[in-house]
Amino acid sequence: MSWKGWVILIVILVGAAVALGVTLKNTPRQQSDASPKEMKVREAAVAGLFYPADKKALSTMIDGFLAQASAPPLENVRGLVSPHAGYEFSGPIAAYGYKQLVGRKVRTVVVMSPSHTADFRGACIPDADSYRTPLGTIPLSPKAKELAGIRPLITDPPCRVGRPSWWRQSPKKAPAPGEDTPDTWEHSLEVQLPFLQKTVTDFTLVPIVFGKVDPEQVANILKDHIDDETILVASSDLSHYYPYEAANKMDRACVEAICDLDIEAMNEQEACGQGPILTLMHIAKRKGWKAKLLDYRNSGDTAGDKSGVVGYAAIAFYEPPQPENKEN
């Protein structure tokens, strides 16, 4: 082949290579290089029902509750018992507990709640990547998925769900029939979150909804996954729908059992979040924590009707200071 022939061949090959490069550049990526999977967000179910759906109104309401909470701060708070009714009823009491967290370095919050709508075995860590309230989005801690693989902690177990009376008024889109999970409509976990968003910054969440489960088993698992930057919240109201004086008497016994870390006595008390409270008590006994009542009231005190009330308590669990070693 003459030198002119070689030049023509080289030009043809270079042009083909350029054309191939343009074709590859414009070829759509394969499925393996697609954008990340869609994040699973647990949307608010009781915004506008148990607390304001408007961000500014919600923030202002919580600020007001916190301003009125006057309990002196405790050192080394590790956990809280906090009520979970509509904010107009229990918000002033919950604020006493959450005010203890203001200014503290908290990285992980474990919120343990009872189930009010689902019948299931175990303790459910929902299949979600984050929770959303009117105040913003809270990412789940990596610990959530880690813990969900340790029985009796499990992700969205089989359950029978009875939807609450207010589900049609919920801002949350209802799942298809039969697809409700233990956390779909659970208010007792959700109502803790706006208080956390107002008092703690840059934290991740481990949500746990209790079904039929041994609290001591859950405590034995959690105790090895918490550190000094972890807060445990046991969501619970106390007695339900007794006359004012009778409720006060029952609730005093319940609060005393909690603050004394008396597991046996607490097993006999009426509190819808008994399981989460007992879990916190078991952990406290193993770690040497103490418990202190910050505030107790019932709906007769906050809403006025004393014929049939619900009891609310804010109780802090804290690590007492270690005694100093003094040399002789």
In this prediction, residue 17 has a pLDDT band, given cuts at 50, 70 and 90, of very low
Overall residue count recorded for the chain in this entry: 328
Q: Is the per-residue pLDDT at 232 higher than 90?
A: yes
Per-residue pLDDT of 110-142, as tens digits, reads 999 999 999 999 999 999 999 999 999 999 999
Distance, CA of 168 to CA of 192 (rounded, Å): 22
pLDDT digits (tens, 9 = 90+) for 163-208: 999 999 999 999 998 999 999 999 999 999 999 999 998 999 999 9
Are 310 and 299 within 8 A, CB to CB?
Answer: yes
> Over pLDDT 90: what percentage of the chain?
84
pLDDT given at position 71: 86
CATH of domain 52-318: 3.40.830.10
What's the pLDDT at 37? Answer: 66
The pLDDT of residue 84 is above 70: yes
Residue entry with tokens 């189930």: 115
What are 245-281's pLDDT values in tens digits? 999 999 999 999 999 999 999 999 999 999 999 999 9
**What pairing do the DSSP bridges indicate for beta strands 41-42 and 130-133?**
parallel
What's the pLDDT tens digit per position in 50-69?
999 999 999 999 999 999 99
Instruction: Give the model's confidence band at 324: pLDDT under 50 very low, under 70 low, under 90 confident, else very high.
Output: low
User: β-strands 123-124, 204-210: how paired?
Assistant: antiparallel
User: Does residue 198 contact residue 153 with C-beta atoms inside 8 Å?
Assistant: no
pLDDT of residue 133: 98
